[in-house]
Each structure stands twice: as structure tokens, then as C-alpha cells.
Amino acid sequence: MILGRNCILLVVLIILGFLLPRLIPGSPLSFSGEEINVLNLRLPEETFNRFRDYYVPEQPLVRQFAIYMSHLFNGDWGYSFRYGLPVKKIIMSRVSLTLFLSLTSIAISTIIAIPLGTFLALRRRGRGEKGILMLLLAVQTIPAFLLAIICRLFFAYNLGWFPAFGAYPPGMTPTDAGFAGHFILHAFLPVTVLVVSTVPPVAILTRNVVHKIKREPYVEAAYYFGIREKTIQIYYILLNSFPEIMGRLNIIFLYAIAGALFVEIIFSYPGMGTLMKAAVESRDYPLIQGIFLVTTIYSIAINFVFEVFSDKINPRLVT
Amino acid sequence: MIYMNNRKKISLILLLIMVALGLAYSYLAPYNPDDFSSPPLLPPGGNHLLGTNNMGQDIFSALLAGFRITIGIALITSLLTTFIGTVMAVLSAFFRGLVDSFIMRLTEIFIIVPDIIVIMLFATFAGPKVWDVIVVMTFFSWSRITRIVRGKAMVIISQDTLQYTLLLKGGLANVGKKMWPHLYPAVVTIFIQQCGRAAVYESTLSFLGIGDPTLKSWGRTIKAAMDYEGIFWSNAYLWWLLPPLLCLIAFVLALALLTFDFEESGRPG
């Protein structure tokens, strides 16, 4: 059921990814002879003709789509205009860094935020709790890209503690000695920014859900019966909060993926975000399409995992 | 009028001041922010409260322009987004069945696609007009609101008054009219929250170089400062980068504080 829904979603999004670049005006694939075209000015005649043979822009859309799909099923994602390399190869060389950034930050922020939110909800109301909440709220309002700029300003430029751009020193390969250290050092600021911007929404969500469950009649009844505080907190409140937290967490994490793309651009971290920027700037259609496809699949995967997971642990929520 | 504590009063006053600054911008600004006749890179003082940028434009005037442009764009976008989102939610709750599941699937698509990618696409290929930016932002924001309001609308429509209206074959207009009094507190809150999101959204887009380059929004000023090579090598960032940054944060934070309730056990939806 969940799988089916996500598959339909995937199909719709593939169609969307195919249509979007073709619907927006100014397309390099319109190729009508009259139009002044970015590509036929920039590319050598021979290369241009080869691209035209590959993308057959003069055919009707449906036919183009059929060709696109058959390429896709054969694992052929087309050739980048800008780099002249197979799109798949370019993306594969970049995607691991984006996966690393987003998954690391999602993991770290979950580990921090869920206990924090729970703690805030379970504690008796006091100044401390309110203060932390206000702080979270304040941090939440700062957009990730501003946070990235500020971090880069203070820690990379003013203090010089961390490198300001890249994923590793130029010219270094993963086999060199000390690569891991440099890699972590380079990833530290981007991951920190992502964690700082993901923790507040998750913590506030957790706090709100736990707080709501805490005031359910059955919890109050449990207190009334004099059941041990720890038992109530763990078995009555926490276990019942998890399904709802899980159910709403996936949206926050989907935003975290988009956030990772932004943060990459600011730190010039060579992942999908920076690749996207380069692709858009040079109007590299096949590459844009490939990136769209990969990030979409990634998002659907995250969504799917969460849906299955919250379905498993939540017998009440039958949809 | 709803009861307001001090925190909310202060936020509201701050917001009103900011809107007033935006409205009075053309009287307050000492220079035209596009005028590049002053000497470049002046430190603050004298005729230029916040100095000038590398093009010789007055930064203080650009900052003031931001009050009008950023807040204006945020208000318009939020209004459109909230309107479309609410209408979709009411449609969903009224027709149920196929219409409902269609709208829900649609919102799912919008939530799953990383908006940045499609926006970068749109922005590069479509014109850099401010209206295009507003349309794009609206296009990618309504689905969130629909999901929140739909939950509320579903509850409201099951109440007795609405059920009687349905029983008497009340049309969409009747039901909508009857629902509105119950719906509007939530919608107002969402509208305010959406203003903040839109302001952040707009500055993010400006920062990526998307949007009308002649409009001096805060995001645009931030981008100009960041694009200047030597911004961190001197103190220039203190009066060029930080003021628009702080204004933006103050605006968004005031909006957030205005709507956040500590007592409330959960956000709507």
C-alpha cells in the first residue's frame, strides 16, 4: 500500500522532471532554427549535432518521453552539455557527499533533539524550560543559509579554525595519509549548520507531542493511581508519543535535504547542491534532469522509510 | 481582541514599526539606493550612516528599502499562499472522496520535491521579475498550509451547524461562509507564520541570485556584501552585512514570537 503510493509518486515525479525543463520558455531543447540559442552558439557544430540526435527535440513530446524512458531503463541518463560526460557518472561522483552531509546531520540532530524535546516537555514548567524554548524558537527562525554565512564568517575567516570551502584540500586523494582528518574538518561546519537548523523544529515538535500526551486523561489517571513516576514517563507517555513524532518527522527531514543543498552552495562543498548551481548556470538540461531525478528518489526513499517505520510502530494509525 | 501577553505586545509593536518604516521609506531614505555617485567603501559616519558599498551606493538607504521590499513581498506572498492553501483545504473537506485524495496526493508531491531545484530552474529560465518570484514562492508553499487547514476543516465540518447546512443541501459557498468563523483564528496564525517563511524564502532566493536584481531587498544586500571579495578582510561586514542580516532575523523572530504559544500543546495539523 505504502510502496504503491510511493511508486505512483515516483512515476509522477519522473514525468514532472521530464516536462519541467521543456515547459519553461527559453529551452535549449526547443532548437527552432530561428531562435538565438545558447547552446548552438557555445558548442562546436559536431557536438551540437550529436546532442540533437540524442535528444531528438523535433519529435513530438510523447515520443521524446518514450525515448527518455527507454534510455532511463537502460541506465543511460544522457550526456551533460557542460561537462560532455555521462550525467550518471558526474552525479555518482557527487552524490555520496550530499548523502554523507544530510544523513550525518539528520542522525546527529535526531540524537540531540528528541531527548531535548522530551526533557522540555516532562520537566515541570519553569524559567529554564521557557528560556530553552525561546532559544530554540529564535534559532529556528534563522534561515539555514544565514546560519551558514555567519558560521563561515566567524569560524572559517575570523578564527580560521576550519577551512572555508571544499570537502578536502585540493589535490588530495582518499588514499593519502591524514585524509580522514581533513575530510572531517571540512565537513564540520556544514554539518554543524545543518544540525543547528534541524534541531529546533524537531525538538519543538517532540516537546509539543509529548506535552500533549502528558495531559491525556489516561496519563492523569495513572498519576492518580500512584503509579511510579518513571513508569508513567516511559510506558505511558514516551512510548505513546513516538508514533506521532515519527509521523511528522519525515517532513522536517525532507526540508533538511533541501537545506543540505543550500548549505553546500555556501560552503562550496562539492555535492549535488553545487552541481545543481553549476548546471543551472550553464543551462545544462540533461544534468539538471538527472539531479532532479536523484534528489527526488532520495526524498521518496526517506519518506518511504519513515512511512513504513511509523506504520510498523503505530497500530492505531490505520490509513 | 485576543488576550496578548507582553512578549506578543512587544513583537506586534516591533512589527508595526517595521511596516511603518517600509511605508515611509521614500521619505526617510537619504539617498536613492541605486545612486552610485558617492565614493565607494566609505566607513560609517558623516553623510552615510552605514557607509557605502563597493559601487558607491549608500548602504543605509538600501537597508531602508529592504523594509519596504522584503516585507512587501512577504505580505503579498503570504496572502496569496494562505488564500490558495485555505481554499484547497476547504474544497478537500467539502467534497471529500476523490477530490480530497487528489488534493492530498498533490500536496505530497510538492512536499517531496526539493523546492530549491525547481525554483532554480524556474528562475534561470523564466524572467527575473519580482512577480515571477512571488508566483514561484506561492506555488511551493500552499501545500503545507492546505495540509494544516484541511485537518481543522475536517473537524469543523463534522460539527452540528455545518452538518445541518449540508443536510439542507447547502452549497460550497454556504458551507464556506459558515466555516469561516471557526477557521479564521487558525488561518490568521498561519498567515503570520507564512509571512516569516516568505521573507526567509525571498532572501534565500536573492542570495542565490534569483529575482529582480534592481530591487534592494535585505537578501539582495546580503548577497551584494557576500559577493564583495574583501568583505571579511576589513570591518566592512559590520556595517554592510550585519545590518540587513539582523533586520531580517528581527522581522522573522517577531513574527514567530507573535504566534508561538507556550501553553498550546501542539501546532495545528
The phi, psi pair for A259, rounded to 5°, reads -60, -40
Cβ contacts of B235 within 8 Å, gap of 6 or more? B43
Q: Does B100 touch chain A (CB under 8 A)?
A: no
Pick the residue with more confidence: B209 or A118? A118
Cα nearest neighbour of B109 on chain A: A9
Of A21, A149, A303, the CB nearest to B226: A149
Cβ contacts of A174 within 8 Å, gap of 6 or more? none
- Answer whether B42's CB lies under 8 Å from B12's CB: no
Residues in chain B: 269
The pTM assigned to this predicted structure is 0.80
* Separation CA A137–CA B249 (nearest Å): 12
Q: Does A99 touch chain B (CB under 8 A)?
A: no
Pick the residue with more confidence: A55 or A115? A115
* Separation CA B161–CA A279 (nearest Å): 55
The fold adopted by the segment(s) A96-292 is MetI-like fold (1.10.3720)
- How high is the mean pLDDT of chain A? 79
CA A27 from centroid of its chain's CA atoms: 27
Q: Does B238 touch chain A (CB under 8 A)?
A: no
Strand partners, B48: B45
Report the pLDDT value the prediction gives residue B57, as an integer from 0 to 100: 80
SS3 category, A79: strand
Q: How far apart are the first and last CA of chain A?
A: 10
* B39-92 pLDDT per residue, tens: 776 677 777 777 777 777 888 888 888 899 999 999 999 999 999 999 999 999
Report the pLDDT value the prediction gives residue A315, as an integer from 0 to 100: 54
pLDDT at A313 over 80: no
In chain A, where the domains are located: 2-73, 96-292
Instruction: Look up residue A209 and give its three cell numbers.
Output: 507531542
pLDDT at A112 over 90: yes
Across the interface, whether the CB atoms of B109 and A12 are under 8 A apart is answered yes
Q: How far is A73 from chain B (nearest CA, A)?
A: 21
What residue spans of A215-284 are helical by DSSP H?
217-224, 229-231, 239-267, 272-281
* A178-228 pLDDT per residue, tens: 777 777 878 888 898 999 988 998 998 888 888 888 888 888 888 888 888
Interface mutation target, options A280, A295, A300, chain B, most CBs of B under 10 Å: A280
Strand partners, A86: A79
Q: How far is B252 from chain A (nearest CA, A)?
A: 6
* A121-166 pLDDT per residue, tens: 887 666 777 788 888 888 887 777 788 888 887 787 777 777 777 7
Q: What sign has the CA pseudo-torsion A149, A154, A158, A164?
A: negative
Of A13, A20, A141, the CB nearest to B196: A141
SS3 category, A313: helix
| Low-confidence spans in chain B with pLDDT less than 70 | 1-3, 41-42, 122-128, 230, 232-233, 261-269
The phi, psi pair for A86, rounded to 5°, reads -60, 135
Residues of A in contact with B113 (CB under 8 A): 13, 16, 292, 296, 299
Q: How far is A311 from chain B (nearest CA, A)?
A: 17
- Answer whether B142's CB lies under 8 Å from B86's CB: no
How many CA atoms does the CB half-sphere of A201 hold within 13 Å? Answer: 19
* Separation CA A147–CA B208 (nearest Å): 15
Residues of B in contact with A273 (CB under 8 A): 116
- Answer whether A77's CB lies under 8 Å from A88's CB: yes
* A28-59 pLDDT per residue, tens: 554 444 444 555 555 666 666 776 677 666 67
Pick the residue with more confidence: A3 or B180? B180
Q: Which of B86-97 are b and which e, b meaning 16 or more Cβ less than 10 Å from the residue's Cβ?
A: bebbbbbbbeee
Residues of B in contact with A140 (CB under 8 A): 256
* Separation CA B145–CA B106 (nearest Å): 13
**Which of A24, A27, A5 has the alpha carbon at shortest distance from A16?**
A24
Q: What sign has the CA pseudo-torsion A138, A139, A145, A149?
A: positive
Residues of A in contact with B141 (CB under 8 A): none
Cα nearest neighbour of A12 on chain B: B109
Report the pLDDT value the prediction gives residue A24, as an integer from 0 to 100: 62
Domains and CATH numbers, chain B: 59-265 (1.10.3720.10)
Q: Does B6 touch chain A (CB under 8 A)?
A: no
Report the pLDDT value the prediction gives residue A26, as an integer from 0 to 100: 54
Of A13, A251, A292, the CB nearest to B109: A13
Q: Does B263 touch chain A (CB under 8 A)?
A: no
Instruction: Look up residue B96 and give its three cell numbers.
Output: 471529500
The phi, psi pair for B58, rounded to 5°, reads -70, 125
Across the interface, whether the CB atoms of A212 and B124 are under 8 A apart is answered no
Across the interface, whether the CB atoms of A146 and B125 are under 8 A apart is answered no
* Separation CA A301–CA B258 (nearest Å): 36
Residue A141 CB burial class (10 angstroms; 0-12, 13-18, ≥19): buried
Cβ contacts of B88 within 8 Å, gap of 6 or more? B103, B107, B142, B146, B150
Pick the residue with more confidence: A275 or A179? A275
How many CA atoms does the CB half-sphere of A247 hold within 13 Å? Answer: 16
Query: Cα–Cα distances in Å, from A64 out to A9, A19, A53, A58, A128?
Result: 21, 10, 12, 9, 61
Instruction: Look up residue B206 and give its three cell numbers.
Output: 536573492
SS3 category, B244: helix
Across the interface, whether the CB atoms of A299 and B124 are under 8 A apart is answered no
Of A141, A280, A300, the CB nearest to B252: A141
Strand partners, B52: B58
Instruction: Look up residue B263 and give its three cell numbers.
Output: 501553553
What residue spans of chain B are helical by DSSP H?
6-23, 25-28, 59-95, 97-112, 115-125, 130-157, 160-167, 172-207, 218-227, 236-240, 242-259
What residue spans of B208-230 are helical by DSSP H?
218-227
Residues of A in contact with B251 (CB under 8 A): none
pLDDT at A120 over 70: yes
The phi, psi pair for A108, rounded to 5°, reads -65, -45
Radius of gyration of the CA atoms of chain B, in A:
22
* Separation CA A221–CA A227 (nearest Å): 9
Query: Could you say which residues from 156 to 215 on chain A have a Cβ atom under 8 Å away from some Cβ of chain B?
Result: 157-158, 205, 208-209, 211-212, 215
